[in-house]
Structure 1
Amino acid sequence: MSQQAGTPTPRTTTFNILFVCTGNTCRSPLAEGIARAELERRGWQHVQVASAGIAARPGDTASEFAVSVAARHGVPLDAHRSQPLTPELVSWADLVLVMGASHLSSVRRLGGEEKVLTLGDFASGADEGYSVRDPFGGPENLYESTYQELHRLIAGALDRLEPILHP
Structure 2
Amino acid sequence: MKKTSVLFVCMGNICRSPSADGIFRDRLAKAGWSDLVAVDSAGTHSYHIGHAPDERTQAAAERRGYDLSALRARRVEASDFERFEWIVAMDNANVAELTARSPAAFRHKIVRLMDFATRHDATEVPDPYYGGAQGFETVLDYIEDGLDGLLVRLGQAD
TM-score, normalised relative to structure 1: 0.83
Matched, 1:54 2:44: yes
**Contact kept? 1:100, 1:129, Cα under 8 Å:** no
Q: Pick one of 125, 128, 131 that aligns with 2:124.
A: 131
Deviation at 1:79, TM superposition (A): 1.5
Matched, 1:18 2:7: yes
Aligned to 1:151: 144
Whichever of the two has the greater Rg, that structure is: 1
TM-score, normalised relative to structure 2: 0.87
**Which one-letter code corresponds to 1:86 in the other structure?**
E
How far apart in 1 are the matches of 2:102 and 2:77?
Answer: 7
How far apart in 2 are the matches of 1:46 and 1:110?
Answer: 25
What fraction of aligned residue pairs are identical, expressed as a percent? 29
Matched, 1:105 2:96: yes
Aligned to 1:116: 110
**Which one-letter code corresponds to 2:4 in the other structure?**
F
Quickly say closer, same or farther: Cα 1:145–1:129, change in 2 above 3 A.
Answer: closer
Q: Pick one of 55, 61, 65 that aligns with 1:70.
A: 61
| Unmatched runs of 5 consecutive residues or more in structure 2 | none
CA RMSD, Structure 1 to Structure 2 (Å): 1.9
| Unmatched runs of 5 consecutive residues or more in structure 1 | 1-12
Query: Residue 138 of structure 1: SS of its match in structure 2?
Result: coil
Question: How many residues are paired up?
Answer: 150
How far apart in 2 are the matches of 1:79 and 1:42?
Answer: 21
